[in-house]
Amino acid sequence: MHVRVDEDTCIGCGTCEEICPAVFHLKDDGKSEAYDPEACDFAGCCEAAEENCPVEAIHIEQD
Ligand code: SF4
């Protein structure tokens, strides 16, 4: 599983970090990044973060 955040689309709402702090965090510029994308495989919350992103900036690709 591979996850990435489209930073051009992200509005920095923080929802993904709240839902899945093992994978996402907000950077100093206010945009989210998947700082540990491989954690998606066991964190079990990446799909929920993707579904709850209000601007659909999170993209998950299955390997
Ligand atoms: S939920 Fe979406 S818009 Fe909000 S911080 Fe995360 S990636 Fe950005």
Helix (H, G, I), strand (E, B) or coil at 58: strand
Ligand 1 centre and the CA of 37: distance in Å? 15
Residue 19's pLDDT is: 97
In a domain, 62, yes or no: no
Q: What is the pLDDT of residues 5-37, one digit of tens each?
A: 999 999 999 999 999 999 999 999 999 999 998
In a domain, 34, yes or no: yes
In a domain, 23, yes or no: yes
Cα 11 to Cα 23: distance, rounded to the nearest angstrom: 17
Given a cut of 90, whether residue 62 has pLDDT beyond it is no
Ligand 1 centre and the CA of 10: distance in Å? 5
In a domain, 53, yes or no: yes
Count of domains observed in the chain = 1
What's the CATH number where 24 sits?
A: 3.30.70.20
Alpha-carbon distance values, 1 to 13, 22, 24, 25, 37 (Å): 24, 15, 15, 18, 8
The parent domain of residue 39 ranges over: 2-57
